[in-house]
Amino acid sequence: MKLKDSIIVLLITAAISVVGNYVGYKVNMIEAIPGMLILVLIAVVGIILAKVIPFKIPSVAYIVTLSTILTVPGVPGSEVISNLVSKVNFLTLATPILGYAGIYTGKNLDALKKTGWRIVILAIFVMFGTYLGSAIIANVLLKMLGQI
């Protein structure tokens, strides 16, 4: 996907998310826009890094790393970024993403049908494994911290 197309998709997703943030969580749209634009900017920089850096690392890795670095306490501007982005409820970001996933799945329904019932079994195992793995990691960390 070209950078221009990625930016357009990100801006559309941001606009839908800002509206969802207002409807679902009653956050003023004007207050949420700066945080949303920061998220879009971080995503664009991550996409550019994935294209420029010669290693084949997905852009999401750059986006997560950049986001983490920018919000570490002590980094100049981290408090401002954290405060602005805190106005965006991250569940509102899921709405357009899941909508896009549904449209994509609908467009590829024939390919999905060819996979048959095995994909359902695989999906169940993946979800169960992810849940179980998360629960185990959380349990170990909470015990190490003395919380349980």
State which amino acid sits at residue 76.
P
- 69: number of Cβ within 10 Å: 10
Residue closest to 6 by CA, chosen among 55, 48, 36:
48
Q: Is the model's pTM score more than 0.85?
A: no
93 and 43 in a common domain: yes
Question: Which residue range(s) make up the domain with 52?
Answer: 3-107
Question: Under a CB-based contact definition with an 8 Å cutoff, are residues 20 and 95 in contact?
Answer: yes
Same domain, 19 and 60: yes
Could you give the number of structural domains in the chain?
2
Provide the Cα torsion 107, 19, 95, 73; round to 10°. Answer: 130
Phi, psi of 27 (to 5 degrees): -90, 125
Same-domain pairing of 7 and 67? yes
pLDDT tens sequence across 53-73: 999 999 999 999 999 999 999
Same domain, 120 and 93: no
Distance CA 77, CA 98 (A): 32
Please check whether residue 51 is in contact with residue 62, taking contact to mean a CB–CB distance below 8 angstroms: no
pLDDT tens by residue, 4-59: 999 999 999 999 999 999 999 999 999 999 999 999 999 999 999 999 999 999 99
Q: Are residues 89 and 143 in the same domain?
A: no
Same domain, yes or no: 128 and 82? no
pLDDT at 75: 95
Residues 89 and 135 in one domain: no
- Cβ atoms 29, 21 nearer than 8 A: yes
Domain identity same for 80 and 128: no
Same-domain pairing of 92 and 120: no
Task: Give residue-wise pLDDT tens across range 101-118.
Answer: 888 878 887 887 788 888
- Give the Cα separation of 134 and 72 in Å (integer): 23
